[in-house]
Structure 1
Amino acid sequence: MTFNSNADVSGSGAKRRGPGGGVIAGGVGGLGAIAVILLQIFTGGDFSSLLGGGGGLQAGPGTESEIQNCETGADANASVDCRLAAGSKVINEYWATQVQGYRPPQLIIVDGSTPTSCGTASNATGPFYCPPEETVYIDPTFFDVLEQQFGDQAGELAQLYVLAHEYGHHIQQITGIFDRYPNNGTGPESNGVRTELQADCYAGAWVADASGPTDAHGVAYLQRPTEAQIRDALDAAAAVGDDHIQQQSSGVVNPESWTHGSSAQRQRWFATGYQGGPLSCNTFDVSGRDL
């Protein structure tokens, strides 16, 4: 999805953060924390609830600065960092119209790796949302990994889909969905899978509306997505399906270990949100057969 070159995308508040201090495990031992982090590889999920009540992982400070040279849509089209920052601005404006009392999360664009209270953020862990911080972490080089390891093009809309998915988790956090449907293990009908599919659905709902909002001068931030861009976003959803990842990594698909849903499910729920908006995204109210 392409930004209009003269749109004003400044003021997103997104920041870039480099490596910081060490990470100290709390709640479980260090090896247990590493196991939790490994669950996040190429999934975009957050598993901090598995770390117990001891506050999770305590992060040291990192070098942080606001995203530079991100003023116009042309900047967003030319730079992944600016595209993500600009995307966060448009996503926030959308959800402010959908959720009463909406508060935006912080977006941290990761430079290499950085410690967080939910584990280390890097291209190896993939993009994720950290509920205790209400922060989205994303290393743009993840898109290169996505293309190299899973064959996805990871174009403009695919990148924004990944970002919008993580913002979907923020919606779940501030509306109490995480509290109502806590982690109950793995499997094709687990709360974890339903949570991830709902975030895909929320991402689709945003994409359908994304070309509507305008800047202060009445210029639309984004152009309508092309069919090719929609296919690219759907390919990205398929690339991070549990069955696809398992097939690529081991050649064995085990639905009972799923945490995010199959490729077909992720594509279907993105399309559901795209066609029906956020009210169509109640993945917790459908049977496993319809999930």
Structure 2
Amino acid sequence: MKWIGRRQSENVEDRRGMSGGGKAIIGGGAIGIIVLLLQLFGGETGQNIGNILEQTNGQQSQQTTQTESRPLTEEEKEIGAFVSTVFADTEDIWAKIFQENNLEYRQPKMVLFTEAVETACGSATSASGPFYCPGDEKVYMDLAFFNELQTRFGAKGGDFAIAYVIAHEVGHHIQTVMGTSNKVRQLQQNQNQTQANKLSVALELQADFYAGLWAKYNQENLDMDDLDEALSAAQAVGDDAIQSRTQGHVEPDSFTHGTSEQRKYWFMKGFKTGDIRQGDTFAEIN
């Protein structure tokens, strides 16, 4: 992706290299893995991670008030600049899309952190993966996640894999601004677990659609391999791919994010159509 020398967002708070302040640290083993799988390319952390952390608090967590800091490496500074540029692109593009549809865009914020973070949706660790918190309208990312995406889940990697994740999480902000997320939460309260999961899948696939739509509007800054990098990331975090890799079998009724093929399809539909009205993933729920 072409990004050097372009505008960076003023809405990015970089907390990397800082730790402490009463953070909750999830113990290793099964709990950390479960949180990771539930929140990969997470939806809105307010839907489930807060409950999980409450349930595990006191069992495999510990509190620390120690505060530590370290200087960022040059590589960390560079990736921070890249992330800020991508976030600026989401600001500009979504303001344009909203204006085209006679709507007013409300900008989210982004927090980069290391290991653990406090949010309006509760405490979280890097095991949570990237997520969006509707309580404070912020995207949270520990950039070490992208090493996991390559080494554990077989994604191709590359800078546009990071851009895709950011665009997906901003997609959840779009759903918050437009009231979609709140409607889904209300509907889920009256559904059994299987149907509630299907609504969650539709919400996640719509966020993938919004990521593709953003890429369409930003294509002047894309390189030849960028779409392949995004699709490789989508392939790696499909529910079926994760379940096959971690448990050796697939349980469709437990899907919360969609299959690899669904995630790739909706990202590309957003990119090909460039039309926000084409993102009704809920119409396909049966």
TM bucket normalised to smaller: 0.7 to 0.9
Q: Is the 8 A contact 2:270 2:279 kept in 1?
A: yes
Map 1:49-88 onto structure 2 (within 5 A): 49-50=47-48, 79-88=78-87
| Structure 1 pair 168–60 and aligned structure 2 pair: CA distance change class (3 A) | farther
Confirm or deny that 1:127 pairs with 2:127.
no
The residue that corresponds to 1:239 in the other structure is: 236
Q: Is the 8 A contact 2:33 2:127 kept in 1?
A: no
| Structure 1 pair 247–119 and aligned structure 2 pair: CA distance change class (3 A) | farther
The residue that corresponds to 2:38 in the other structure is: 40
Q: 1:162 aligns with which of 162, 165, 169?
A: 165
CA distance in 2, matches of 1:41, 1:47: 8
Map 1:119-268 onto structure 2 (within 5 A): 119-182=122-185, 184=188, 185-186=193-194, 190-212=198-220, 223-226=221-224, 228-268=225-265
Gaps of 5+ in 2: 25-30, 56-62
Please state which structure has a larger fraction of its residues in helix: 2
CA distance in 1, matches of 2:5, 2:32: 45
CA-CA distance at 1:153 after TM superposition: 2.2
CA-CA distance at 1:284 after TM superposition: 1.3
Report the count of equivalent residues. 258
Q: TM-score, normalised by structure 1?
A: 0.77
Specify the code of the residue in structure 1 equivalent to 2:281.
T
| Structure 1 pair 42–180 and aligned structure 2 pair: CA distance change class (3 A) | closer
CA-CA distance at 1:11 after TM superposition: 4.4
CA-CA distance at 1:187 after TM superposition: 6.0
CA distance in 2, matches of 1:270, 1:188: 22
CA distance in 1, matches of 2:39, 2:146: 13
Q: Is the 8 A contact 1:12 1:86 kept in 2?
A: no
The residue that corresponds to 1:271 in the other structure is: 268
Report the identity percentage: 34
RMSD after superposition: 3.5
CA-CA distance at 1:83 after TM superposition: 1.1
After superposition, the C-alpha distances for 1:49-85 in whole angstroms (9 at most, x for unaligned) are: 3457xx99xx99998x9xx999xxxx99x82211111
Q: Which is worse superposed, 13-22 or 193-202?
A: 13-22
| Structure 1 pair 287–10 and aligned structure 2 pair: CA distance change class (3 A) | closer
CA-CA distance at 1:40 after TM superposition: 3.2
| Structure 1 pair 89–186 and aligned structure 2 pair: CA distance change class (3 A) | farther
CA distance in 2, matches of 1:39, 1:177: 24
The residue that corresponds to 1:27 in the other structure is: none
Q: Is the 8 A contact 1:202 1:281 kept in 2?
A: yes
Q: TM-score, normalised by structure 2?
A: 0.78
CA distance in 1, matches of 2:163, 2:151: 18
CA distance in 1, matches of 2:127, 2:115: 10
CA distance in 1, matches of 2:124, 2:45: 13
Query: In structure 2, the residue corresponding to 1:150 is in which secondary structure?
Result: coil
After superposition, the C-alpha distances for 1:127-183 in whole angstroms (9 at most, x for unaligned) are: 000011100001111000100101112211111000000000000001100122226
Query: In structure 2, the residue corresponding to 1:136 is in which secondary structure?
Result: strand
Gaps of 5+ in 1: 25-32, 213-222
CA distance in 1, matches of 2:267, 2:159: 16
The residue that corresponds to 2:59 in the other structure is: none
Q: 2:108 aligns with which of 105, 111, 118?
A: 105
CA-CA distance at 1:45 after TM superposition: 2.3
| Structure 1 pair 236–34 and aligned structure 2 pair: CA distance change class (3 A) | closer
CA-CA distance at 1:122 after TM superposition: 3.6
User: Structure 1 stretches (4+) deviating beyond 4 angstroms?
Assistant: 33-39, 59-63, 186-189
Specify the code of the residue in structure 1 equivalent to 2:163.
L
After superposition, the C-alpha distances for 1:20-71 in whole angstroms (9 at most, x for unaligned) are: 43368xxxxxxxx99994563434223423457xx99xx99998x9xx999x
| Structure 1 pair 195–150 and aligned structure 2 pair: CA distance change class (3 A) | same
CA distance in 1, matches of 2:197, 2:40: 20
